[in-house]
Structure 1
Amino acid sequence: MRSMGNLKFFRSLNGGVFLIVLAGLTACSRSSGYRRDLDTGPRTQSPQERERVVESVRNMSPLRKRAVVLPFWNDTPVKGRFEVQGKNALRELLLEQNRLNLVDERDVTLRSQDFFLDADKVNVNHVAENGKKWGVSLVVLGRITKIAFRRKDDDVGILRPSAAKAAASVEIRLVDVAQAKEIALGEGAGLSETSSLNLFGEGEADTETTRNDLVAEALRDGIRKAMPALNKEIDRIQWRGRIAKVRGNRLYVNAGRATGLQVGDILKVTSQGSDIFDPETGLFLGRSAGDLKGTLEVIEFFGEDGAITRIHSGANFLEGDVIQLY
């Protein structure tokens, strides 16, 4: 009887060992896909994939284009300080977005209406000429096309309700200075309203003051609604700067820390290119690309937004040559 029990024990033991070995072999096996991945190794990147990798680093801290915002053109019969209020509201929104490097416009005496040929057409050549003098890549023009205001006061009862509404329609245009071309038009209509209860009407505010305050708020709302069309083009424009001064092996450029340059950045330098005009009509067609001259390396900063560079490659650099991030 004991021998029969031992036999059963060993049979059970052998069966268990077989199952353990079988499970181990199964765990160690790999799929054909796994073996194929080991054989092929890493996949070769396409040119588009390589460019996306580089751009992902650049977009971490993109360079901001230099721009100036001009006082709006109030093309309506409703008068007030709306030209300056429109400009200030647009500047505030652009500063919040941090997409542009806005220059101080205190020395700029021209206004948006100085560049309009009519309500629908801008003299882009005139804009580009002045933009170069101001050292900017973009000029932002604004036009107030409509203003509406209504107020309603109840003259019955002890507590008398008062309500007022204002609406304003705006157009905002972006002009690329280098190409002398209008590149974006943003349009928006904003609304603002207020209401109150006044004891026998004694708390009613002055109608002109109420109107001006509400119109200013409506302007801000309209400008905010016009921004999406502008932002798309702002992000698309390639950043450009210029050589401001050549002094031996050191070259001073009109962009620095405020623009987003960093020490060690390599800048590509090209000549200014030429203006191209239609031989029959004389109309300005655009600016040709300049010739590549070489590269510069940013070594330090100066002033509010300037950088000092040294020659990395090339020669014959001149003041006014165009720089771009390499």
Structure 2
Amino acid sequence: VIGFDSTAPGYIWRIDSELSKTATDLMINALIKAGGFRVFERVKLDAILKEQDFQAYSGRVDPSTAVKIGKMLGVDLIVTGSVTSIIYKKSGGIKIGPLSLKKSSASVTVTIRAINVTTGEIVFSEVKKGTTSKSGVSIRVPVAGGLGLSSESATDIFSAIEDVCLQAAAEFAVKMDSRAIVVSSLPLEGYVVKVESTSSGAITKVYINLGEDSGIKVGDEIKIFQEGEVILDPKTNEILDRELDLIAQARIMTVKEKLSIALVTTKFSNIPIMPTDIVEVIR
């Protein structure tokens, strides 16, 4: 899950802010509750992107950026979101020193997307609304890095964002379950994560990001492609098409939990096999 940004008037924040981290953690928790997902820990994600000096991390994540980040991390999907509207209201208030009795409500609109790292396809995109309301005693305490938010308004706003995350995660889990049934009849795709060759280059082993859960098995044949020109939608940056050059074929020798090892049997080009090259299992 890549940090959520906000373009809501009066509540604008970037994905490298503390407010973004709070919203991101809410989405991570929602996906874990929904079940069926292995979620990359946010702290590790931040550390890796910082180590790699990934400059785009401070801006909005589009499909082409998601593919780069996803391949760097070795994940299948990147989930990202953007808060587009925040409406916070409060009324009443009998003040007793720093305390006050009040009613408050928050309404948010969030766009949540999931992007397939291998293809750049947006596999889930929903605009969700979340609300929360409460009444009681509150104390106004500034929130660090919170754009002037008090603890009371931040609590209401992030409760509404949590509502959105829980809705989206539940729908996403159902969609991915149904999609898995359809995908089982489609070509199985992944990408190369490591290449090992003898000094002569006669024997080449490739490690790919398809493990036991993918259904790949020992003896399967795979094609290895190198990506050529990528055609992007100029408005959304969605990947519309890409050129693929077949450079080799290999046979799966070992299948592990999260990856498989294949031995290259045929080379169709002098182009070297590289990490992030695309692989397709021959059915």
Q: Normalising to structure 1: TM-score of the pair?
A: 0.57
For the 8 Å contact 1:127–1:177, the answer to whether it is kept is yes
Higher RCO structure (Cα 8 Å, ≥6 apart): 2
Deviation at 1:154, TM superposition (A): 4.5
For the 8 Å contact 2:78–2:115, the answer to whether it is kept is yes
**3-state SS of paired residue (2:138):** coil
| Greater share of residues in helix | 1
Q: Unaligned regions of 5+ residues in structure 2, if any?
A: 142-149, 198-202
1:245 to 2:195 alignment: yes
Distance 1:271 1:115 in 2: 29
| 1:209–1:319 distance in 2 versus 1, CA, 3 Å | same
Distance 1:147 1:265 in 2: 54
Q: Unaligned regions of 5+ residues in structure 1, if any?
A: 1-68, 117-121, 197-202
| 1:152–1:92 distance in 2 versus 1, CA, 3 Å | same
1:78 to 2:15 alignment: no
| 1:267–1:223 distance in 2 versus 1, CA, 3 Å | farther
Deviation at 1:70, TM superposition (A): 1.1
Distance 1:74 1:154 in 2: 29
Counterpart selection for 2:89 from 146, 150, 173: 150
| 1:144–1:274 distance in 2 versus 1, CA, 3 Å | same
Q: 1:125 maps to what in 2?
A: 64
Q: 1:288 maps to what in 2?
A: 243
Q: 2:25 maps to what in 1?
A: 88
| Greater share of residues in strand | 2
For the 8 Å contact 2:253–2:262, the answer to whether it is kept is yes
Distance 1:125 1:178 in 2: 11
What RMSD, in angstroms, separates the aligned Cα atoms of the two structures?
3.8
| 1:91–1:151 distance in 2 versus 1, CA, 3 Å | same
Distance 2:82 2:252 in 1: 40
| 1:241–1:276 distance in 2 versus 1, CA, 3 Å | closer
Map of 1:92-241 to 2, 5 A cutoff?
A: 92-103=29-40, 104-106=44-46, 107-109=48-50, 114-115=59-60, 122=62, 124-155=63-94, 162-196=102-136, 203-206=137-140, 208-227=150-169, 230-231=172-173, 232=175, 235=179, 240-241=190-191
Q: 1:315 maps to what in 2?
A: 266
For the 8 Å contact 1:143–1:170, the answer to whether it is kept is yes
